[in-house]
Structure 1
Amino acid sequence: MHASRNVMIIKSQQQTTQSPLNTSETQRPANSEHMDFLEYDERPGRRIPWKWLFVAFVLVVAVGLAGPLNRLRSHFGKPPQDLVLFTVERDDLPIVVTERGNLESQINIEILCEVDEIRTSGHSGTAIVWLIPNGTSVKAGDLLIELDSAPHQERLDQQILETDRTRANQIQAQAKHENQITQNETSLADAELDVRLAELEVEMFTDEESGTRRLEVDAIERLIDDVNNEIRSAQANLMLRENEKRGIETLFKLGYAGKGELDRISYDFLRAENEFATRVNRLKTQMATLSKLQNYDLNMQSLKLHGRLETTRRRLEQVQRNNEALTAQSQAALDAANQALAKEEERLERYKDQLEKCRIYAPQDGMVAYAVSASRWNREEIREGATVRQRQHLLSLPNLNQMQVKTAVHESVVDQIEPGLSATVRLDAFADRVYRASVRSVAVLPDPGGFLSSDTKVYETVVTIDEEVQQLKPGMTAVVEIHVDRLEDVISIPVQAIVQVQNQTWCYVEQQGLPVRRPLRLGRSNDKFVHIVEGLEEGERVVLNPMAIFDETRQRDERIDADMDDLPVADDVAPAADVPALPAAE
């Protein structure tokens, strides 16, 4: 409102200053109304029209504002003082990303504490007995650190005894397992033999030609045949004795034979009769035995033999299962003993290795650099007598002949950086040296930063120096220039000439001694120049310090405001139509 008001006042004043020219009759409009507006009536007694009073008032105001307006007019149309100009030319534009970083070794071996923490007397950690001075140049195999090995030696001695006891148990388990295998083989052989004998007995019993069953039946049948023969012999003897008895009885009756002869022949007859009865009874017995053998004994014996065969077979299966169980049991005991021995031997080897790791040697040539804790609140000092924990970083051993720079690339240009791009490295300590380098890696995720870091996203980038270096130390400040691309024969201007406000981009171009605002369309840029795609021509001159224009404009506005405060406010004065335009450097 204040600016528009000032412009409005300036326009009104300009119009009023020109009004005397418009009142001359040579420039009077032909319109009758304007003729009446400018006509002066000299007749006496007539009242002066109000329009003439308004014209007189305007003339008085114009005379009063002439001085301040001349001062205001002098503020416009003057170029700012001390402007620096740059002549636009066509040239090649190297697209280079420049970042600062710190020097470090490409081959940086971190020496860690690999010794276990043994708690003794309420204290944990391992004490440093001897430590090589910081910054010492060492060769591969040189002693770097010696840690307290007394607790580890004591633990190793105890482990040796425990390993020997475990080895004795393993030997005993091995012997038991071998004995069990032998016992199992013996038991299995006995069981198999019993099965085989039972099978042979069954085969021998059931053989129709020469088996036990056939032999027993044949033996009884042969006895029966013998008994039948004896019966026939006894029967014949009985008949003979009976005939002799009848003959002697007849002779005894006739008196030709005595009493003794009759008694003798009677006795012989009775004995022959008894012998015949005995043979008959014996035949019956043998027939009953044969019947019993055929109907019962043979079946019972067959059942017994088959039952024994099945029993021996089942016993064989039982022996096999028992052997498997006993073998598995003894094998499990042996495996447990072997595992226990392996564990103890592994622990023994680890304790030996722990004892050896109490003395740390240099794995390569380099310079000793003590580890520095990243936390400012919990710093772990590396010194003789200090206790260190397992996996703690003790020192680093960088190779000073092969170095690299770790830097951070801004998120606006990280998409242009890729591994393999060529680069150059300059060091603040050796400003006259330039090293050939190349991009090794670009982080995928941004650096998280710390608690006090800004919201600007940067990506860690590693640039390796592609040549052997001398006299360089880790931590030196380096400037890296990454060569992204090279634009040939283009128009470019320094980046300080560009002005960007929100979505508008422009620069100031000198025209007739005054800076004029020129909108631009930008292309790619480096840290010094930016490619102008549209908006400038070769040979034009641009302002390199546009902030001077802003400062001059601000001072001019302040002077205008001060002069405006001296002007009377005329809200009723209509603005003029023709006002000179302000310069472009607003």
Structure 2
Amino acid sequence: MRNKTVPLLVLLGLGALAFFYFRAGDGSAADAGKIEGAEVRRGPLRISVVERGNLKAADSVELKSEVAGSTTILYLIEEGTEVHAGDLLCELDTSALVDRKVQQEIKVQNALATYTKAQQSYEIQVSQNTSDIARGKRDVEFAELDLRKYMEGEKPQELQKADEDILLRTEELQRAEQSLSWSEKLAEKGFLEQTQLDADRLAKSRAEVALAQAKRAKDLLVNYTIPRREKELQAAVEESRRELDRIGLQAKARLADYDANLKTSKAKYELEESELAKLLDQIEKAHMRAPVDGMVVYAMEERGRYGGGQPIQEGTTVRERQAIITIPSEKGFLAEASLHESVIEKVIPGMDCLVTVDALGTTVPGRVQFKAVLPDQQSWWANPDLRVYRTQVEILEPSPRMRPGMSCSIEILVDDLEDVIYIPVQSVFLDGGRPVALVARNGTVEKRPIEVGQNNERWVEVRSGLEEGETVLLSLPPGVTLSPSEEGRGSGPSEEHRPGGRPDAISHGAQRSIDHSEESASAARPHAAIEGGGEASSGSAGHRARPHSDGSSR
């Protein structure tokens, strides 16, 4: 199969090369053998950038996977189906989520039980604290009452009783003394027996002893018993107050422990409940339904560095936030393309475009709406040496037959030059770092310096150095050599300076149009480096770098 394909490609390349040569001349196949090169032309020249792209809806609803991690598509509605809001479009695998949901429900129940227990323990502790504090306050109140009772009641009563005891003992002593005095007088006259006199004397001694005891008891009461009792009662009051403070502090400490346990249990319960809610939400989001009416369009396939992306279909593994389906609106279309870095500076938002839809065969006007500031990272994975910038073109006159994803050709109109001299891009060479053209004159070849201007895929403007009607060669003839630039001089020719290569500054579009015919025919025709200001690339000298497969140059 491969042996048959290679000759076919060579034949196609030769055909394209012959067609290009015929157009570079007068277009007559019969005179092709007589043409030594291309004629220098004068006239209008359109400067444009042509790139391939795809249509996309200007306004669309994109449905992405909202299931965390990776999952598999179990059901996917057919692309192109007209759906209504609420219709099921895609179902993702939720078996693992369902298992986690069951386990999470158990965790929620356990957390709820712990939280309920913590609530009840907290309420019990609050009640216990209230009782302990009330008891402490009562103890303080009782101690204060005991102190007041003693100071205002018992102490005066004890002092009064001691005074009364002394008074009674004093009166008893006086009576005993009087009785003894009468007894002695009677005894002197012989009217009283000695025994009675001794009894009266004993009674007086007893009364004196009792009075002395009463006085000592009062002294003990005043000097020791009352002060001690006062201090005991005052100490009891102070201790009860300190106990009340301790009860308050202990109550706060115990309540803080229970409060912390309550908050922790509540937070854990809310966390487990939130996790369960997330799982339920994930399971619900696994059933993707249409938010609006419209037609189903599968999302564009995302490719990795080695092109290993999977198409959107049942059984495909999708990651979180990966687009699966889009529902485009009918408000308009955009053409999206990736511009090579060599032409990105030519394109400015607002430029007019011509968009040709391949499937419809129609060309509609457009306008550049957006140009990315940074290169597309996806292209880095596909080719580390390729830098392209995402660009969007607004379709000004959309057709009802347009569908998202249709391939198209986008021609961005950079400039329309009214009356200029121009030649094919492959007629420009670098000689010593300066652009030159090989002019055929009477069988000889003249190497003539030229000043180049703008260029498109096929033609380059010549601002000076050539005249209309002259003939320029399309390839380097035998015997003609080109000098390398100062930067290109070295010990030996590098790959960048070998014949058949291209310089960096050549237009990406022009380079691609030449590559197919040139490589198929194995013709090593050097091409020039053309930039907008007519300055040549400093890294090339008459020869170009070998092109990459994607059309870019090194």
TM-score normalized by the length of structure 2: 0.66
1:187 and 2:119 are equivalent in the alignment: no
Residue pair 2:437, 2:472 contacting (<8 A) in 1 also: no
> Which residues of 2 match residues 78-89 of structure 1 at below 5 A?
81=35, 84-88=38-42
Residue pair 2:440, 2:471 contacting (<8 A) in 1 also: no
1:436 and 2:363 are equivalent in the alignment: no
Higher RCO (CA < 8 A, seq sep 6+): 1
> Which residues of 2 match residues 124-163 of structure 1 at below 5 A?
126=72, 128=74, 130-147=75-92, 156=101, 159-160=104-105, 162-163=107-108
- The code of the aligned residue for 2:211 comes to R
Deviation at 1:371, TM superposition (A): 6.3
1:546 and 2:473 are equivalent in the alignment: yes
Give the Cα separation in 1 of the matches to 2:439 and 2:261: 96
Partner in structure 2 of residue 399 of structure 1: 328
CA distance change for structure 1 residues 391 and 198 in 2, over 3 Å: closer, same or farther? same
- The code of the aligned residue for 1:462 comes to Q
Residue pair 1:149, 1:358 contacting (<8 A) in 2 also: yes
- The code of the aligned residue for 1:522 comes to V
CA distance change for structure 1 residues 387 and 302 in 2, over 3 Å: closer, same or farther? farther
Residue in structure 2 matching 1:445, options 375, 383, 389: 375
Partner in structure 2 of residue 368 of structure 1: 297
Deviation at 1:179, TM superposition (A): 1.9
Partner in structure 2 of residue 275 of structure 1: 207
Could you say what secondary structure the match of 1:184 adopts? helix
Deviation at 1:231, TM superposition (A): 4.5
Deviation at 1:541, TM superposition (A): 0.9
1:292 and 2:224 are equivalent in the alignment: yes
For residues 68-88 of structure 1, the C-alpha deviation after alignment (integer angstroms, 9 at most, x for no partner) is xxxxxxxxxxxx855543453
For residues 123-146 of structure 1, the C-alpha deviation after alignment (integer angstroms, 9 at most, x for no partner) is x96572x43223333333322234
Residue pair 1:435, 1:467 contacting (<8 A) in 2 also: yes
Give the Cα separation in 2 of the matches to 1:463 and 1:220: 114
Give the Cα separation in 2 of the matches to 1:274 and 1:395: 123
Residue in structure 2 matching 1:222, options 139, 156, 160: 160
Partner in structure 1 of residue 120 of structure 2: 175
Deviation at 1:444, TM superposition (A): 1.0
> Which residues of 2 match residues 215-364 of structure 1 at below 5 A?
218-219=156-157, 221-252=159-190, 257=191, 264=196, 267-268=199-200, 270-293=202-225, 298=227, 300-364=228-292
- The code of the aligned residue for 1:493 comes to Y
Give the Cα separation in 1 of the matches to 2:276 and 2:446: 86
For residues 90-116 of structure 1, the C-alpha deviation after alignment (integer angstroms, 9 at most, x for no partner) is x6x665333222333444655444456
Identity of matched residues, %? 23
Residue pair 1:112, 1:391 contacting (<8 A) in 2 also: yes
CA distance change for structure 1 residues 242 and 400 in 2, over 3 Å: closer, same or farther? closer
- The code of the aligned residue for 1:144 comes to L
Bigger mean CA offset, 404-413 vs 220-229: 220-229
Partner in structure 1 of residue 430 of structure 2: 501
Give the Cα separation in 1 of the matches to 2:73 and 2:48: 51
Give the Cα separation in 2 of the matches to 1:497 and 1:543: 16
Partner in structure 2 of residue 567 of structure 1: none
- The code of the aligned residue for 2:356 comes to R
For residues 321-349 of structure 1, the C-alpha deviation after alignment (integer angstroms, 9 at most, x for no partner) is 32223222222322233233223322332
Partner in structure 2 of residue 30 of structure 1: none
Could you say what secondary structure the match of 1:135 adopts? coil
Q: How many corresponding residue pairs?
A: 443
TM-score normalized by the length of structure 1: 0.62
Show structure 2 runs of 5+ residues with no match.
Answer: 1-33, 481-554
CA distance change for structure 1 residues 394 and 446 in 2, over 3 Å: closer, same or farther? closer
Could you say what secondary structure the match of 2:362 adopts? coil
1:480 and 2:410 are equivalent in the alignment: yes
CA distance change for structure 1 residues 418 and 301 in 2, over 3 Å: closer, same or farther? farther
Give the Cα separation in 1 of the matches to 2:421 and 2:329: 41
Could you say what secondary structure the match of 2:342 adopts? coil
- The code of the aligned residue for 1:473 comes to R
Could you say what secondary structure the match of 2:303 adopts? coil
Residue pair 1:408, 1:459 contacting (<8 A) in 2 also: yes
Residue pair 1:424, 1:480 contacting (<8 A) in 2 also: yes
- The code of the aligned residue for 1:547 comes to L
